[in-house]
Amino acid sequence: MNPEGLMENSGGRGLPEKLPAGERVLWQGSPGWKTLARRAFHTRMVAAYFAAMVLWCLATSIHHGLPAQAILLSTAKLTGVSLVPLALIALYCWGLQRSTIYTITNRRVVMSFGVALPMTINLPFSRIEAAGLRRYANGAGDIPLRLLADERVTYFIVWPHARPLSMLKPEPMLRCIPDVEKAASVLARALAAHTALTMSCESAGYLPASGANARAAREKATAPVFAGHSPQAA
């Protein structure tokens, strides 16, 4: 199936170039900005911090017996200042949603992102060792991709599209996807089909029986495609 408005075997939004013959788009999506703000930028914790500051300022002003007008004015000013970083985070997350496209084809995962500096990362299935799945209570979730040992990406380049705190061995991640179950199902079927094709070709003699690609295929054939996590609160 093709996303609406994207022609099969042709370049489109989120794709760096025209797809080669035989490759087709299975799924495309973007992170939800509200979930991204909560999960990647922890807006609830930021809001709680500023709320505590406002309450402390209010309590201190009352304790020192300041006039009601002065208390209201200072509280209003601090509340306004507190809303600025929250608004900037929300705006940035909205920009991330608008500028990020995750694409799953029958051969690879493509991550196109960048608010100021657009960037595209191609992750062929042959370089993906396993995929994870983290669900949130609102139906959104993350799909981290564990790469082969010799495959490296720079954590700070792909962040926030990377698994948190995976700096020693960064894992690119399809982050805060609405309806993550659908995306995970598409990716699981595509990875399974690719692994089966690789093993079939190896058995038929089209691929060497040893080597990095063959070992990777055998490991993927015997390992679970997805490691799931329990749903978390949105």
Q: What φ, ψ does residue 161 adopt, rounded to 5°?
A: -90, 50
How far from 199 is each of 24, 204, 214, 222, 234, CA to CA, in Å?
Answer: 21, 9, 8, 11, 40
pLDDT, average across residues 167-174 = 92
For the domain 25-31+101-232, what is the CATH code? Answer: 2.30.29
pLDDT band at 205 (very low <50, low <70, confident <90, very high): low
For the chain, percent of residues with pLDDT exceeding 70: 79
Of the listed ranges 22-36, 61-75, 200-214, the one predicted with least confidence: 200-214
pTM of the predicted structure, to 2 decimals:
0.79
Render 129-150 in DSSP notation, one character per residue: EEEEEEEETTS-EEEEEEEPTT
pLDDT band for position 162 (cuts 50, 70, 90): very high
**How sure is the predictor about 234, in pLDDT bands with cuts at 50, 70 and 90?**
low
Please confirm whether the linkage preceding 160 is cis (ω < 30° from 0): yes
Q: What does DSSP say about strands 226-232 and 128-136: parallel, antiparallel, or unpaired? A: parallel
When the pLDDT of each residue in the chain is averaged and rounded to a whole number, the result is 83
Is residue 96 left, alpha or beta, with left meaning phi > 0 and alpha meaning psi from -120 to 50?
alpha
Q: What percent of the chain has pLDDT over 90?
A: 56
Is 209 a residue whose pLDDT tops 50? no
CA neighbor of 40 nearest in space, from 142, 133, 113:
142
Q: How does pLDDT run across 110-137, given as a tens digit for each residue?
A: 999 998 888 999 999 999 999 999 999 9
Q: For residue range 65-80, what is the model confidence (pLDDT) as tens digits?
A: 888 888 889 889 999 9
What DSSP designation does 100 have? -
Per the CB < 8 A criterion, the answer to whether 97 and 36 are in contact is yes
231, containing H or E segment:
strand 226-232
pLDDT of residue 80: 92
